[in-house]
Amino acid sequence: MRRDSPELKQERFQWAPEQKDKIDFEKNCIFIDEAGFNISMRREYGWSKVGEKAVLKVPVTRGLNVSFLRAISSKGCVDLKVRLPAETAPNKKRKLGSYTTVSEKKTRIGTTANHFCAFVKSVLREIEASQALEEIKYSILDNAAIHKRRDLELLVASSGMELVFLPAYSPALNAIEEFWSVCKAKVKRSNLSRKEQLTPRVREATAKITLESYQGFCKHASSFIPYCLEKRSF
């Protein structure tokens, strides 16, 4: 399995000593990431009467995948933005005889590097304006391609902070992964039928996550750093 490969364990082993003396997930770090939600999200298990199967009704169509961008720390939520997928216009095809055919298929564009960079700008403004976040010095990101633009690194550096990329295939080190898991579990309890219901429900779910939970997410992620130093699987 890739997550437990010797090469990846070595990568984590090399990453941890470089970071352990400066980053403190529970004090000076902020975790930034995006996640997709849609109205078809449902519980994966449920109760039923004895001898009967559990039946769950779901929408006929999956619906659009809506991206939510989030920044969290042990102090709680720092910022939340919604990114609705945009659609490009259909492209014209070559003329066939006296007719012109037009492709009816539209391309949906999700979160791009530009969207992510704009969100990080918003997060940096929130940090600068909040005395409670004055200890934040490091922005923790995974290795998604949209996170690795040079201008993003320069933007963060200009604010006096530093980008820290986690080792590949290491979600346990990313506190926001556990946050998204809890948030999605809450959303799955709702039977959403219209896309207009999704954003309010996600906001409602995140509002119910307590400060103690945010602290727990960061503490739990921090507990895996010794695993890196010991080349242990997780």
Q: How many domains does the chain contain in total?
A: 1
190 has a pLDDT exceeding 50:
yes
Residues 168-205 as b/e (b if ≥16 CB within 10 A, e otherwise) read ebbbbbbbbbbbbeebeebbeebebeeeeebeebbeeb
Which pair of structure tokens corresponds to residue 154?
């320069």
Judge residue 81's burial from the number of C-beta atoms within 10 Å of its C-beta, 0-12 exposed, 13-18 middle, 19 or more buried.
middle
Question: Does residue 234 lie within any of the structural domains?
Answer: no
Q: What average pLDDT does this structure show over 79-102?
A: 60
pLDDT at 165: 97
* pTM assigned to the model: 0.83
Q: Where are the alpha helices (H) located in 36-166, listed in sequence order?
A: 113-129, 150-158
Question: Does residue 204 lie within any of the structural domains?
Answer: yes
pLDDT in tens, 33-78: 999 998 776 555 545 556 666 555 555 555 678 899 999 999 999 9
**Model confidence at 106, in pLDDT bands (50, 70, 90)?**
low
CATH of the domain at 9: 3.30.420.10
Average pLDDT over the chain, rounded to an integer: 84
pLDDT at 102: 47
Question: Does residue 91 lie within any of the structural domains?
Answer: no
pLDDT at 68: 94
Q: What average pLDDT does this structure show over 148-170?
A: 95
Contact 82, 88 (CB under 8 A): no
Question: Does residue 53 lie within any of the structural domains?
Answer: no
For 200, the domain range is 2-42+61-83+112-229
Question: Does residue 96 lie within any of the structural domains?
Answer: no
pLDDT at 38: 85
pLDDT at 83: 77
Question: Does residue 203 lie within any of the structural domains?
Answer: yes
Share of the chain above pLDDT 90, in %: 64
